[in-house]
């Protein structure tokens, strides 16, 4: 389990690069006041700690009392942020717009209204050119204030123009707000519950979708309207396991960035998330060649300077790149080869442990377990599955269920039949309690429960019968997730042919490649 400190100051200091730490020291030592020296001492003490420990901190720094610690910490936190602001990225559109608004405010306070309006006009053009509607509205509000309070030569022609611009901007912001709220609500539902498992659950998602769309909204025409509009369709399709629609809207999501490439730097995380969904859609649809080419495109993008110079962008790129690389090994049947990236992955998980949420870590553990299982190392697969099962978090109940199911199959592979017989009841109860049982899972449980009583000569007959039942469910939308989380059909075929499961998947991939 990842051990993560909740101390905000400690996390901030640990996130700093060497150059940022050096800049803080120069910033903090600009005067020699006693309180300021204490903040520097506290900074040095926290920087040297591997884990936050207040008792040890106070013990090693007698000059700082427990009563002082809170105030000094708050002052240090503010000073670090102030020092970071001094080395701000001049290319950041937010900071450029803030700077122009600050300049306009200074001119306004000096009574230089025409100069202030001139600066605001430049800010407005910059905001429009970069799709920054919220900043545009701030500029318009400031313009209205100047025009309403002071007589300018442009008042007779500007009033109607400003009013019209404001009304359009407000309407766009209202659409963006409504669509982004809906996208967040759908995504939150997936993180909590996973895919829709029944017709009723699908109807509930559809109701959330229909109720959340803006009234009288038919077509998005600004960048952010399109972005959140496509996200809403993406999440709905993904949750309902309509993977073809999911792919179409993930592609539309990326297309708007390709149409306006400069937005990749402005909304980097949205582009990264869009690429993640596009790669995920190719994986779900088994578009192996397209998945490989999209991974290459994303890997090239991840080496852009504005990615490498931003910790958040770097971490998120790592998460989605490694996720997709593992998925590619799944579709190509190269599980053993895929294990080569596990040491690097584990090292990066440790390196970024303070910034990774539980949901991402759980997914990586499951994917690593699947790599080991597919390569024939069921014992190590169980080790990673146990990490998920023993981690008490209220996230992704579907992932918890499939971890238990794969654990059962891994024990079956190892010949731990008595343990399977012991575990099967508790796993069945867990999945039934979570209302997570599908036809595919019921059939797998039925096979495992009865396999102990089947003779070796009859086992192939039973497996063939199970294979026939499962193949009849491959086109059932509510059963798709079972085949994505666990390629049980390939596993059964491997048992029937007496070859490793990765060989079966590899053969399927090569056959598909020849057809293309």
The full DSSP string for 61-92 is -TTS-HHHHHHHHHHHHHHHHHHHHHT--TT-
Highest-scoring range by mean pLDDT, 53-57, 152-156, 261-265, 510-514: 261-265
Quick check: 328 and 295 in contact, CB under 8 A?
yes
**214: region left, alpha or beta (phi > 0 left; psi from -120 to 50 alpha):** beta
What element of type H or E holds 152?
Answer: none
The verdict on residue 348 lying in a domain is no
Per the structure, how many domains does the chain have? Answer: 1
Q: How confident is the model at residue 482 (pLDDT cuts 50, 70, 90)?
A: confident
pTM attached to this predicted model: 0.82
Length of the chain: 516
Range of the domain at 53: 8-86
pLDDT tens-digit profile of 372-417? 999 999 999 999 999 998 887 665 677 888 899 899 999 999 989 8
User: Quick one: pLDDT at residue 3?
Assistant: 43
User: Quick one: pLDDT at residue 89?
Assistant: 60
The verdict on residue 445 lying in a domain is no
∠ Cα 322 323 326 (to 5°)? 80
User: Quick one: pLDDT at residue 152?
Assistant: 56
The verdict on residue 262 lying in a domain is no
User: Quick one: pLDDT at residue 17?
Assistant: 86
| Coil/strand/helix, residue 434 | coil
The verdict on residue 29 lying in a domain is yes
Q: Summarize the confidence of residues 333-347 as an average pLDDT.
A: 95
The verdict on residue 459 lying in a domain is no
User: Quick one: pLDDT at residue 4?
Assistant: 47
The verdict on residue 506 lying in a domain is no
pLDDT tens-digit profile of 96-152? 899 899 999 999 898 898 899 999 999 999 999 999 999 999 999 999 888 887 765
The verdict on residue 220 lying in a domain is no
User: Quick one: pLDDT at residue 218?
Assistant: 65
pLDDT tens-digit profile of 260-288? 999 999 999 999 999 999 999 999 999 99
Report the mean per-residue pLDDT for the chain.
88
User: Which pair of tokens denotes residue 252?
Assistant: 């539309």
Q: Summarize the confidence of residues 23-34 as an average pLDDT.
A: 74
Q: How confident is the model at residue 455 (pLDDT cuts 50, 70, 90)?
A: confident
Rg of the Cα atoms in the chain: 28
Q: Which residue has the higher pLDDT, 45 or 485?
A: 45
């Amino acid at each position: 389990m990842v051990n993560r400190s909740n101390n905000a100051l400690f996390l901030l200091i640990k996130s700093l690069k060497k150059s940022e730490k050096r800049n803080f020291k120069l910033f903090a030592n600009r005067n020699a006041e006693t309180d300021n020296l204490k903040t520097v001492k506290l900074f040095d003490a926290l920087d040297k700690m591997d884990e936050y420990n207040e008792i040890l901190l106070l013990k090693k720094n007698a000059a700082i009392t427990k009563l002082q610690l809170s105030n000094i910490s708050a002052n240090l936190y503010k000073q670090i942020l102030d020092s970071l602001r001094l080395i701000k990225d001049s290319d950041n559109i937010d900071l450029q717009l803030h700077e122009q608004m600050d300049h306009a405010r200074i001119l306004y306070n000096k009574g230089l209204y025409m100069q202030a309006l001139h600066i605001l006009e430049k800010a407005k053009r910059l905001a429009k050119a970069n799709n920054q509607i919220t900043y545009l509205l701030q500029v318009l509000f400031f313009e209205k204030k100047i025009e309403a309070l002071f007589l300018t030569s442009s008042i007779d022609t500007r009033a109607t123009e400003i009013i019209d611009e404001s009304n359009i901007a407000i309407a766009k912001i209202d659409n963006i707000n409504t669509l982004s709220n809906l996208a967040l609500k759908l995504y939150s539902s997936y993180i909590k519950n996973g895919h829709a498992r029944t017709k009723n659950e699908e109807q509930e998602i559809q109701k959330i979708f229909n109720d959340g769309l803006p009234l009288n909204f038919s077509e998005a025409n600004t960048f952010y309207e399109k972005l959140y509009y496509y996200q809403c369709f993406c999440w709905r399709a993904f949750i309902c396991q309509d993977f073809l629609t999911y792919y179409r809207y993930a592609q539309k999501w990326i297309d708007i960035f390709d149409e306006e490439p400069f937005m990749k730097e402005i909304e980097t995380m949205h582009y990264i998330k869009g690429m993640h969904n596009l790669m995920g859609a190719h994986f779900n649809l088994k578009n192996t060649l397209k998945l490989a080419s999209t991974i290459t495109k994303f890997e090239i993008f991840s080496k852009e300077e504005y990615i490498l110079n931003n910790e958040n962008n770097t971490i998120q790129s790592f998460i989605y790149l490694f996720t997709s690389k593992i998925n590619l090994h799944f579709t190509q049947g190269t599980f053993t080869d895929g294990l080569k990236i596990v040491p690097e992955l584990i090292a990066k998980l440790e390196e970024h442990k303070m910034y990774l949420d539980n949901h991402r870590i759980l997914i990586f553990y499951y994917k690593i377990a699947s790599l080991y299982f597919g390569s024939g190392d069921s014992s190590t697969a169980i080790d990673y599955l146990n990490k998920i099962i023993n981690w008490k978090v209220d996230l992704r109940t579907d992932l918890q269920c499939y971890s238990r199911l794969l654990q059962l199959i891994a024990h079956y592979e190892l010949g731990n039949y008595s343990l399977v017989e012991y575990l099967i009841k508790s796993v069945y109860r867990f999945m039934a309690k979570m209302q997570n049982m599908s036809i595919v899972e019921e059939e797998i449980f039925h096979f495992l429960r009865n396999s102990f009583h089947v003779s070796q000569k009859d086992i192939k007959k039973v497996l063939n019968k199970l294979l026939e039942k499962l193949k009849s469910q491959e086109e059932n939308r509510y059963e798709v997730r079972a085949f994505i989380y666990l390629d049980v059909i390939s596993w059964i075929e491997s048992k029937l042919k007496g070859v490793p499961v990765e060989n079966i998947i590899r053969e399927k991939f090569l056959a598909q490649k020849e057809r293309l």
